[in-house]
Structure 1
Amino acid sequence: MFWSEAALSTRTSSTSGTLAPEGITVDASYGCEVRQYEYHGAWVIVAAGEYDMGSITPLREALNTAARQYPKVVLETSAVTFADSAFLNLLILTHRQTGRLRVVAPSAQVRRLFEISRLGSVLEIRQTIEEAAAS
C-alpha cells in the first residue's frame, strides 16, 4: 500500500508503528512515493514503490536536497518493491556527499541488491528510524 492510500489521520511509521511527525512532504509521481520530514536533527526520507531510471527523479531530488542541508540523512526503504542500478548509483552518490547515509529497514528487494553489490558493507543499515537518527 502506498502512503497516498492510507488515511492521513493515522500517519504511522512502517518501521516503528509510531506516529510520523507533522510537516511531512510527499511526492507521489512516477509510480513511486517519497515522504520526507525532520526527526531529531536527521532528515528522513521514506521511499515506496519502484525505482529505476524512469522513476528515480523524485528520490534523487529529495536525497540531493537533504544531503546539502542536513548532516544526517536517513532513507527508509521497507516499501521499495523494485530497485535497479539507478537506485544503487543514487545511494552511492548520496553516501559520498553525506559521508554516511543511513538506510532503514531495507525491503527484500533492496537487501538483495545490497548483497549482490556489497553496498551493504559500505552503508549504515539500521532497523528503525529512531536508531538511525540516534547514530
Structure 2
Amino acid sequence: MQDDHRADVHVGTEHVRTEHRRAKPLRRDGVGGERAGTATLGTSAGATGADPAGPLTVEARPGAPAGAVVLLVQGELDYGSAAPLRDALEEHDRARRVVVDCAGLRFCDSTGLNLLLKARLRMLDAGGRLDLAGLRASVDRMFEITGARQVFRVYGDADEALRDAV
C-alpha cells in the first residue's frame, strides 16, 4: 500500500506544490519496493526496477549573445545524480543568462526541481536569468503539475531560447 503526500515547497519567495508517494517497503528477500525518496512524477528507470540508464551528464557551451551559457543535460536528475548539474549551475551563476537544455533529460524529481528553482533565484538576485528548453513530456508534466512551469520561461529548444533576447 502506498500513501500519497503533498507538500508545499518554499524556495525564497517562490511557492510550488509537489506530490510524492511513499515507497513500498521491501520484503525480507529485498524484492518489491521502490527506491525510497523518489518522487513519482515522470518515470525513472530506477523506480520501475529496470537498470538505470546511466549517470547524469552536463555539458556547458557558450551561447549567443555574449554572457549566455547553455547547459546540455542528459540522463535522469534525482537525489543521487544531481551533483553535476548543481556544480554547473554554481559555476555559471554569474552568467547573464543560463539556458538549461533538457532535451536529453528523461526524468526529474523534486531534487531537480528545487535545484533549478534555487539556481533561478540566485541568478535573478545577481541580475541574470535561468530558462529551460526542450522539456520532454514527462518532465514537462512534472513542471506543470507543481506550478513551476509558470515560474520559468520554457522554450521548445535551446536555439529558440537563444533567439529570444528578452
Task: Name the TM tier (shorter chain).
Answer: 0.7 to 0.9
Instruction: For residue 31 of structure 1, give the secondary structure of its aligned residue in structure 2.
Output: coil
| Cα distance per residue 1:48-68 (max 9 Å; x no partner) | 101111100000000111112
Residue 133 of structure 1, CA deviation: 2.0
Between structure 1 and structure 2, the one with the greater Rg is 2
Question: Which whole-Å CA distance do the structure 2 matches of 1:67 and 1:78 have between them?
Answer: 21
| 1:130 and 2:159 matched | yes
Question: Which whole-Å CA distance do the structure 1 matches of 2:133 and 2:57 have between them?
Answer: 16
Q: Which residue pairs with 1:58 in the alignment? A: 84
CA contact (8 A) 1:50 1:81 kept: yes
Instruction: For residue 55 of structure 1, give the secondary structure of its aligned residue in structure 2.
Output: coil
Residue 128 of structure 1, CA deviation: 2.4
Give RMSD over aligned pairs. Answer: 1.3
The equivalent position to 1:85 in structure 2, one of 110, 130, 138, is: 110
Q: Which residue pairs with 1:36 in the alignment? A: 60
Instruction: For residue 38 of structure 1, give the secondary structure of its aligned residue in structure 2.
Output: strand
> Which structure's residues are more often helix, by fraction?
1
Equivalent residue letter for 2:82: I
Identity, % of aligned positions:
32
Aligned ranges for residues 1-135 of structure 1 at < 5 Å?
31-40=55-64, 41=66, 42-68=68-94, 70-99=95-124, 100-134=129-163, 135=165
Question: Which whole-Å CA distance do the structure 1 matches of 2:112 and 2:136 have between them?
Answer: 13
Aligned length: 105
CA contact (8 A) 1:80 1:109 kept: no
CA contact (8 A) 2:103 2:157 kept: no
TM normalised by structure 2 equals 0.60
Instruction: For residue 102 of structure 1, give the secondary structure of its aligned residue in structure 2.
Output: strand
Question: Which whole-Å CA distance do the structure 2 matches of 1:107 and 1:123 have between them?
Answer: 15
Equivalent residue letter for 1:35: E
Equivalent residue letter for 1:88: L
Gaps of 5+ in 2: 1-53
